[in-house]
Structures are given as structure tokens and as C-alpha cells.
Structure 1
């Protein structure tokens, strides 16, 4: 007999490398309808040394990756344990952790999220549900995006759910099934250039706003093969490092102009997905704080009602949804949608330690 209440922690580390998001969540299910309440939450920043390792992990040897996986699992386990202790949390049903994506190559049948080793359960002394992506890739899917089932279950009052993190991704209903896919890089590129000014990010998009659009660069970015592909499709940091940054770096223009051009590129690509659409668009993720980017997105969406929610939902929506994915796994219910990932069938994914 399944429970009606679940007391869990959701843990997420995104490609923008701003740290580990943790959210203590209570879920309740009544008459097949889920509701949630977010309690304590936190973002724990990485050390500069760890940021460097996570950025460069795609170039590591198998041995180096294995060592990084162990190191990161220990780090993540300790972060979770400290969060539990600091907030005096008890009677948890599970810790539901995404881990950190280092390699994402679904076309090669491969995806790697570190921090998902069995030792994490010993470190936290809790039941841990993790490694949500691997099974989907084995079933022929992209292993991403995974958040859309949470959009469907928890945010059904919105017509579209857009996340602006390391990458932008969107989910919505089409022909009575959930559709979702990655749109373009966002903070993986903008933060890279903000870092060259000694900043973690472009505060409110002020640097980007000060630049000018380079028409040739803008056109070259918009004609990349990825944007012509049909969904399901997903992006990894490899795309940024091997394709996008080399294009940007090939132009002898100011960093401000590169950032301005890329901001317009992000907005245009989002606009193309939602052209001539109406309804309510929920936007979450760190990119929400880039006011200039939001202004440019709105420019391309004149008939859409753009909604930016409360702070907790902006910052911790992905941690919230991975908490839900873990609960669904506990119940052996579908937590990955084939309509979104391209897998052979819907399934209940994740490992339980």
C-alpha cells in the first residue's frame, strides 16, 4: 500500500556550475493529484578547484574520471549530511539526487553523472535514489530532459515551462502528450564570458546590454545544425566547448559584443519555438535574473503571458522535480516520458541505494 505523504530532499547540480541545490520537500497525493511544499533549501557553492575539475572533466582519462567520481560522491554526501544536520531533518523517506553531468553523448549510447556511487547512501546514512538518466539511454532515449514529467504533474496550470540554466529547455503538451527538448546554451556561454571580467555571472545582463549585435556571428550561430534538428534532442557541455565557443572565439570583436550577440541568439531561438503561440509561459532557472535576457525573450513573444514565479520556485524547481522523480521511483511509477526523451517506452528510472 503506497503512502500519501513523502518527506524527501531533492539535490541538483546544473551545468552552470553555481553549486549544489538542495530542497527539503513534502509531497502529498490525493485522488491522483500531487501537491508539494518546499521547506528548507540551500545552494552550496563549489570551490574554485572543484569548478575547474567539473569544467574539464570531459577531457579526463577513465582513471581520472573514476577518481573524480569518488571525490565528488564524497563531497556531495557530506553536503547532504550537513544540510540534514543543520536543519535537524529526520524521518526522511529518501534523498533524491541528480548528480553532476560530466559526459552526455546519447548518440553514442552514453551519459555520465558523477556523485551517484553507492557510497553516497553510507555517507548520508539515508536511502538515496539517483542515476536517473542511464536507463533511458539504454532504452534508446536522450536521457534528457527529465524535468518535463514534473512540469506535467506539478505545474499543469501553465501552457509552457521554460528553464534558463546552463542551457534553455522547454516542455509543453502537444496532441495529448508531453513534448520537451533543449533549445540552446544559456549560462554555460554567458558565464564563461562574465568570468573573463572576474565575475561569476553577468548581473542583470548589464554587460550584454552594453554590447552590439554582430550580424555575421548572429547568423552563423542561428544556422548551427542542432537548431534544424527535430525533437527529441538534448545538449551537453561538449556542444558548447567543441562547437559554440570556437565560433564565438573566431570573431575579433569585444567580449561585450559576443555576449550581446549570444543573448539575442538565445532569445531568438526561444522565440522560434513559441512563434504565434498564446498562453502562459512559466520561466525558472538562474537566467531569470538576467533582466536584459528576459526583456529580449519577451520581445520575441508578444502574444505570450510571461510568468516569473516566487524565489524558491525560480531557484529550486529542478531540485524539487528530482525529489518528485525519486518519489515516483519509490512507488515504481513512470518518471521518464518516452515522448520527451525518444526512448522506446515510458519507464521508472533511477537506482536506489
Structure 2
């Protein structure tokens, strides 16, 4: 696909929170070397319970089961795009799909996002870009976070961009280079606590706001070695299972107290991550931005300006950015930054299917 000044792209994101498949139809314009965007349509397609169950067990599936799930998820993504976009599908240039992360162990050279791009292409009859992380990992990088390129080009007016999904991650510019890293699990932990009492999540943080901080647990969470590791660094579901959930889930404290304590821990760590620009502005997106109790605690610890944008941007920023990463990939321009991931060089990651 030739380099152009405008693209119409569908971005697809399946996050570790498992709250659904985010689908964005976005228009990108290049003018005077600056990119701008417009979200034309944005929808979330809820996963069937069967797929949710399989994705939750992802790190324990056999190779054969993962292969089957890769196909099943690819078919679901393809059909969801057809259903949500209808006739507009014929107008777009391509689909950029992040897929769903099953394994992420970059120190071992392993990262795997499932949701077959080949099946998405077959079902939608549309070119697809997927598998954004593998190239960076092969170059010695973390393969994550990937969103900082979009933060640099599309949201440069903010000092920090914080995403509160299954994992909390942050990006910022430092000495003219982007740096970014995962801070801690977020909805992965909070949602698992809500599930104890039959809820999929804590709406608006109401339960957490009713709890009390458990000092001993807070100290244990702050003592996790990852908190003090220097970047580049990133997290996967297996890290949460190994280091965070064993502290929280066996606790005899109430879910409300555990949620309250975990919010306090996350707010402290995120404020620490933003301490390089203590009076700066922090854009907060991802599902956790709706957690009013957490936002209040973050505002208490971070002395700069905490900015919660429109509901559309909160929910669909990641899918939007992956659409943009797809634009950079088809232009063969870097969409993964060595300053963020620690790779040998900047690189343009993504497998091209059907172009």
C-alpha cells in the first residue's frame, strides 16, 4: 500500500481485563508532518462466556488447545467486525488487530498474541495487520508497551499518558525520547476480587470506597521487587499470577478492604512513576478511568493534573492507537521504539496479511 496522507482503518483491541473486544473505525490525516485522528465509530463486542473461560485459562492450555483458540478467537473477531461495521467495512483500507496476549515472557524471547489474522482476513475480505510484538522481542526488546508511539504522535499535549486496563502502564517523553513501562496489574486484580462476590467488576469503585486500607497487605504489595526495577520492563498475566494474586487472593480480609488497599498501592506506584514531572498533566484512559475511588486516590498522590477525557476516548484509545500503529506498519515506519522496549533498534512490527 503506497504512502498516503489519509487512511481509514479499523483498530481492534482485546485487553487482559477480558471485558470485551474494542473495535474502532478511525480516520487518520497527515498534515505538515503531524498526524490527527477522528473516531468515526466505536463499539465493544462482549465475549461469549466460553471464550472468556478459555482466555482465562490461556497460560495453562496445551499447544493444540492454543492453536484451536487462536482460530476460534480469529473467527469471533472477524464476525464481530462484520457485525459492528456493516457496509462501512467495504470503505476501509485495512484492519489492525492487537489480538489477545496469552504468553508474554520477553526475557525468554517469548510473546504470543492469538486471534488469527488469517481468519480475520478470510471472514472480512479485508487486509489485516497483526502480531505487532514478535519482531521487537526477537530484537531483544520487551515487545511492550506499544502504545507510546501513539501517545507521542496523537496525544503529545500531555506530559503522561496512563492506561488502566488489565495492567497499568504509563508513557512520557524524557530527553526527547519516549519512555514507557508497565507499572502493576490493575483490573486483573480488582476484577478477580469483584468476582468473589459474583460481580465482573466494581462499578465506579463503589465497593473499594467502602473498604479500609490493610496496612500489612499494602506493605507486602509495595515490597514486590518489580516495583523498584528500572525500565524497560513489562508484565504479563503470568507475572500477576506469580507475584500479585498470591498476596491478595488468600487474604481473609473482605473484598472491599482488599480493593481499597490495592487501589492505594496502585495509586502510590503510579504517582511514583509520574514523579519526574511532578506538576505535569496525566491523561488517564482504559476501564480503570471509570473507577472513581481510584481516581480520587491518584489525585491525592500525584500532585500534577489528572485528566479523565470523554467516555469514548477512555474506552477506545488503545484500539485507536493500534489502528495508528497499523498505519505506520503499512508505511514501513517505526511503530515500536527501542527507548521504550530496550530492543536493539526501532522497528516496524506487524504481520501483513492480504495486502
The answer (yes or no) to whether the contact 1:116–1:131 under 8 Å persists in 2 is no
Structure 2 spans left out of the alignment, 5+ residues:
none
Q: Hey, what's the Cα distance between the residues in 2 that align with 1:249 and 1:92?
A: 45
Q: Hey, what's the Cα distance between the residues in 2 that align with 1:63 and 1:88?
A: 35
Match of 2:181 in 1: 181
CA offset digits 1:127-148 (Å, max 9, x no partner): 0011101111001011100000
Match of 1:328 in 2: 328
Match of 1:101 in 2: 101
Deviation at 1:351, TM superposition (A): 0.5
Match of 2:272 in 1: 272
SS in 1 for 2:192: helix
Query: What are the equivalent positions in structure 2 for 1:159-174 lying under 5 Å apart?
Result: 159-174=159-174
Deviation at 1:249, TM superposition (A): 2.7
Deviation at 1:240, TM superposition (A): 1.5
CA offset digits 1:251-297 (Å, max 9, x no partner): 32222111111111111111111236112111111101100000000
SS in 2 for 1:118: helix
SS in 1 for 2:257: helix
**Larger deviation: 72-81 or 92-101?**
72-81
Match of 1:134 in 2: 134
Structure 1 spans left out of the alignment, 5+ residues:
none
Deviation at 1:339, TM superposition (A): 0.4
Match of 2:7 in 1: 6
Match of 1:22 in 2: 23
SS in 1 for 2:89: coil
The answer (yes or no) to whether the contact 2:82–2:89 under 8 Å persists in 1 is no
Deviation at 1:206, TM superposition (A): 1.1
Query: What are the equivalent positions in structure 2 for 1:66-215 lying under 5 Å apart?
Result: 66-85=67-86, 88-215=88-215
State whether structure 2 residue 323 is matched by structure 1 residue 308. no
Scaled by the length of structure 1, what TM-score is found? 0.97
Match of 1:220 in 2: 220
Match of 1:261 in 2: 261
The answer (yes or no) to whether the contact 2:117–2:128 under 8 Å persists in 1 is no
Would you say how many aligned residue pairs link Structure 1 and Structure 2? 351
Deviation at 1:186, TM superposition (A): 0.8
State whether structure 2 residue 220 is matched by structure 1 residue 243. no
SS in 1 for 2:90: coil
State whether structure 2 residue 7 is matched by structure 1 residue 36. no
SS in 2 for 1:36: strand
Superposition misfits of 4+ residues, deviation over 3 angstroms: none
Q: Hey, what's the Cα distance between the residues in 2 that align with 1:267 and 1:144?
A: 21
Match of 1:299 in 2: 300
Q: CA RMSD in A?
A: 1.1
The answer (yes or no) to whether the contact 1:162–1:168 under 8 Å persists in 2 is yes
Q: Hey, what's the Cα distance between the residues in 1 that align with 2:332 and 2:226?
A: 34
Q: Hey, what's the Cα distance between the residues in 1 that align with 2:12 and 2:249?
A: 34
